[in-house]
A and B are shown apart, each in its own frame.
Chain A
Amino acid sequence: EDQVTQSPEALRLQEGESSSLNCSYTVSGLRGLFWYRQDPGKGPEFLFTLYSAGEEKEKERLKATLTKKESFLHITAPKPEDSATYLCAARPYGQNFVFGPGTRLSVLP
């Protein structure tokens, strides 16, 4: 069965304190691994797509990496405005997206 898990469930950081979020996936044939950001009361906002192991993508303070079993979202020197829930999703070939439960990130000033 296709499955995506994320850890930690919640993370509190001081402003400027870098850290990483983990996404572990088990899918039969990965078409893509996706990261989204979701603010309270809003829809998920697309961040990155990763297609193959070893791939990395960056956007401002965020960098996403992919291995054959995991993806990491690295947050460098976070700011309070980075506080949100970060969702990971895996997409098997020919199928829909399987989402993880998310990591709730709080960045304190």
Chain B
Amino acid sequence: NAGVMQNPRHLVRRRGQEARLRCSPMKGHSHVYWYRQLPEEGLKFMVYLQKENIIDESGMPKERFSAEFPKEGPSILRIQQVVRGDSAAYFCASSPPGPLNTEAFFGQGTRLTVV
């Protein structure tokens, strides 16, 4: 039973490039959450998605950031025109649908470095 899979684990981008972070939820899970973590800081909520729907994007910056969770395939967090301040660890978590939608299980994260 594979856990939440994130790739790539490490991503280096130059300022102005695009970063695409992928998250495959656990089998049977239809809810995905994205969080950002800076060194020595806690997890900051970005966006909460179900298949083909954005449930809550209140933590997502208004510009340059977008997320999707299509009917087929992984969830994608996309950062356009990256800046040095985007350097962080980005974690994805997933949870099952319905009444079991309580605990969320995390992937190992993607560490984005903008140079």
Contacts and interface: CB of A to CB of B under 8 A. Distances in A.
Interface of A: 31-32, 34, 36, 42-46, 49, 87, 89, 91, 95-102
A46 B104 CA distance: 8
A84 B102 CA distance: 24
B110 to A, nearest CB: 10
Q: Secondary structure at chain A's binding surface: helix, strand, loop or mixed? A: strand
A43 B107 contact: yes
A31 B107 CA distance: 22
Contacts of B43: 44, 87, 89, 99
Q: Secondary structure at chain B's binding surface: helix, strand, loop or mixed? A: strand
B97 to A, nearest CB: 14
Contacts of B107: 43
B42 interface: yes
Contacts of A99: 35, 42-45
B25 interface: no
Interface in B8-35: 33, 35
B102 A98 contact: no
B109 A96 contact: no
Contacts of B69: none
